[in-house]
Amino acid sequence: MSTLSLPQLLVPRWTRAARSITIQIKERWNAKGIIIDFLGDHPGGGNVVIATRADEHKGLGASGTAWGPLRSVPSSELSREERAVVEKLLAEGSTGRGPFSRIGWIEELLAWTSRELGLERSQLSDEAVQLNAAAADALVHISSTRGDGYWFKACGGSHPNERSITTTLARSCSGYVPAIVASHNKWNGWLMRDAGVPLSSSASMSDHAVEVIRRLGELQVATAPCVRELLLQGADDHRLPILREQISEILPSLEEAMCEPGEHIGARIDAGRLRRIADLIVEATQRLESIGIPDTLIHCDIGFENILAGPTGCVFIDWAHAGVGHPFITFENLCSQFAQDHEVRNLVPLLQGTYLRVWGDWLSVDRLREALTLAPLVALASLLCCRRDWLTGGQRQWPSFQSYARVMARQMDLAAQRIEGEGCKSVEGIGCESQRDKPEGPDSGSEIVNSAPFGSRFRTLTSPS
């Protein structure tokens, strides 16, 4: 029997693997594919199981591809463990790894959605768009023939607390997050109304910047009374006393990354300077505490992809990394991303003034501006603490993580210079982690994003649905 080689698909860097793979299957073989499961480690590449309609198999047999039995796939392309998972799927229709690692789950989702919306099944499009995929996680866009759209998200495997946190925000902060229309308890999922397009897709960022900052501040003020509830539901605790404890845990990883031999872009920061930065972080958190701004909800993965611009205003999404901490942390990270946009860069003083006005009933302008000065360094420290599992575990040896640590250390050095008054003349980008420098790690939630330097190759195993 001849040996078959699995088809390979290249997923470009910083793209959603699930979406990229399904698009390429449609383009290369004119087939609608639904991802059943990713096998092996990610996001560096590996095998992915795809289900297609039986009447679309003709296209999958063209362009130099051929059908063959699973036993013809060599062990060099499919490990024993992976083969066992696929054999179970073919024999039983499910791998047993999660609700979405089985044939037919997308049809079940569409049937459930139609019932919850009071629609006939025929009133929902069959062209559901799969953005994220995993055995127990999903993100799917569903359209109706009426022209409206919905998002279904499930996080049974990665961040199970996201559902309860999102539900709380939808109830107590209506209008600042998408409206939830139904919940699926068995899958730990929920159905949301489509609230707009990501800010990153907006034609003009400057049209939305002021509104985004104002609504962020309003959302945070509204969550100040809910801090205890959010913590009980699983929001990460990033309050300033916790941050002071965690920064000492991360410091050795920063020193290690800076001492790594080889060529690096940017200056090396010695251990003494890193310890001085850590001391400044502690001092900055203590000063922020003395100012008296209350803890609120913070978004530990804020970015333009997680802000939707719609007809009723902008809303904030993706609370897998929701936390409780100093509100200026999220503002600083978002404002610094605005500062990197050529259209919005000159609006940064206006954005700062807009945000401070939201807090004007709490403190004087002078005290708020003092907090604004301290925020960049503390925001960077908070970002590192959000990813402390990356920087304190075995992954800290990976080149991508060490590069990330060096980038963040240099940004903290700039922010520290600003506090010290040592002549840091430009602070654009301080307090912001660039998506280009951000490695993907195990806390990436249900979203599998490819972060390999030159893209990753995924081998596809296809099964009829």
* d(C-alpha 2, C-alpha 331), whole Å: 59
pLDDT of amino acid 65 = 75
Mean pLDDT of 461-465: 57
Show Cβ contacts of residue 339 under 8 Å, excluding neighbours closer than 6 positions: 345, 348, 428, 429, 432
DSSP reduced 3-state for 98: coil
Q: pLDDT digits over 63-80, tens only?
A: 667 778 888 888 888 888
* d(C-alpha 302, C-alpha 294), whole Å: 20
* d(C-alpha 364, C-alpha 366), whole Å: 5
Q: Provide the CA 395 distance to its chain's centre, in angstroms.
A: 19
434, pLDDT greater than 50: no
Same domain, 187 and 238: no
CA 309 to each of CA 299, 312, 318, 434, 448: distance values in angstroms, whole numbers, following the listed order: 17, 8, 14, 22, 24
Measured in degrees and rounded to the nearest 5, phi and psi for residue 98 equal 165, 170
Same domain, 232 and 167: no
CA 235 to each of CA 15, 228, 332: distance values in angstroms, whole numbers, following the listed order: 27, 10, 20
* d(C-alpha 375, C-alpha 378), whole Å: 5
Same domain, 379 and 393: yes
Q: What is the mean pLDDT of the chain?
A: 85
Q: pLDDT digits over 300-348, tens only?
A: 999 999 999 988 889 999 999 999 999 999 999 999 999 998 889 899 9
Q: pLDDT digits over 391-433, tens only?
A: 677 666 777 778 888 899 999 999 999 999 843 333 333 333 4
pLDDT of amino acid 442 = 31
59, pLDDT greater than 60: no
Same domain, 345 and 419: yes
Same domain, 50 and 89: yes
Question: What is the extent of the structural domain holding 354?
Answer: 198-437
8, pLDDT greater than 90: no
Number of domains in the chain: 2
Mean pLDDT of 441-456: 39
Q: Please report whether residue 1 resides in a domain.
A: no
Same domain, 212 and 235: yes
Q: What share of the chain is helix, strand, coil (3-state, %, to 5)?
A: 45, 20, 35
Q: Please report whether residue 109 resides in a domain.
A: yes
Name which of 147-156, 268-277, 445-454 the model is least confident about: 445-454
- The pTM of the full predicted model, rounded to 2 decimals, is 0.85
Whether omega before 160 lies within 30 degrees of 0, making that bond cis, reads no
Q: Which residue has the tokens 């940064």?
A: 348
pLDDT of amino acid 437 = 43
Mean pLDDT of 141-150: 94
Mean pLDDT of 158-177: 94
219, pLDDT greater than 90: yes
Q: pLDDT digits over 340-375, tens only?
A: 988 898 999 999 999 999 999 999 999 999 999 999
Cα torsion through 192, 194, 195, 201, rounded to 10: 130
Same domain, 96 and 138: yes
> Of 386 and 109, which is predicted with more confidence?
109
Q: pLDDT digits over 224-260, tens only?
A: 999 999 999 999 999 999 999 999 888 888 888 888 7
pLDDT of amino acid 74 = 86
pLDDT of amino acid 30 = 84
Same domain, 156 and 229: no
446, pLDDT greater than 60: no
pLDDT of amino acid 187 = 97
Same domain, 187 and 212: no
At 436, is the pLDDT very low, low, confident or very high (cuts 50, 70, 90)? very low
Same domain, 214 and 172: no
pLDDT of amino acid 183 = 97
Same domain, 59 and 176: yes
Q: Please report whether residue 446 resides in a domain.
A: no
* d(C-alpha 294, C-alpha 328), whole Å: 10
Q: Please report whether residue 442 resides in a domain.
A: no
Number of CB atoms found within 10 A of residue 437's CB: 15
CATH code (residue 354): 3.90.1200
Q: Please report whether residue 208 resides in a domain.
A: yes
Same domain, 267 and 210: yes
Q: Which residue has the tokens 């791998």?
A: 95
Radius of gyration from C-alpha coordinates of the chain: 24
